[in-house]
Amino acid sequence: MAANEGSRSEERGTKRTVYAALAANLLIAAAKFVAGFASGSSAMLAEGVHSVADTVNQGFLLVGLRTSKRDPDEEHPFGHGQDQFFWSFLVAVLIFFAGGGFAIYQGSASILGEPADHGSFLINYWSWGWHSSSRGARWQSAPASSGGPPGLRAARSGNTSRLRPTPR
């Protein structure tokens, strides 16, 4: 019974972290698009697209978390636990193609179009600083709900054997 309660608590922590990342990525995307349009920086616009892809990623992870909890059925006798990995893979493919498509578009536009007047990049520096600080805030929330990244969890538990390369 206690293991089941721990699992539910871990799931709530995971969802809380995903929701926090989703909200932060939405705000980051908005800031990057404002900075990109205000400065005319295609790099900042590309970063905005990247942040939108991260936001979609969080949505897909939420779908995967929800569908992986379904009970076994005739077609899936072992359950749907692996669904979250399918949705994560789908996110990776989406990010790859969205990033590639945007890069092709921006490259073609800069080669074939008129030179752009970029103006001041100060807003870009502000956007990068804000992005970095919000990313740090997300890292701070992750250990509370999931134990942090695998390396940090291993270091906290004293099991650092996986952190060092093994001699062959």
Assign 40 a pLDDT band (cuts: 50, 70, 90).
confident
* Mean pLDDT across 108-131: 73
Lowest mean pLDDT among 4-8, 17-21, 112-116, 129-133: 4-8
Whether 142 has a pLDDT exceeding 60, the answer reads no
> For the whole prediction, is pTM greater than 0.85?
no
Whether 36 has a pLDDT exceeding 70, the answer reads yes
Top mean-pLDDT range of 32-36, 130-134, 155-159: 32-36
Whether 168 has a pLDDT exceeding 60, the answer reads no
For the chain, which residues make up each domain, given as ranges? 2-157
The string of DSSP codes covering the chain is -HHHHHHHHHHHHHHHHHHHHHHHHHHHHHHHHHHHHHHT-HHHHHHHHHHHHHHHHHHHHHHHHHHTTSPP-SS-TT-STTHHHHHHHHHHHHHHHHHHHHHHHHHHHHHHSPPP-----HHHHHHHHHHHHHHHHHHHHHHHHH-SSHHHHHHHHT--TTTSPPP-
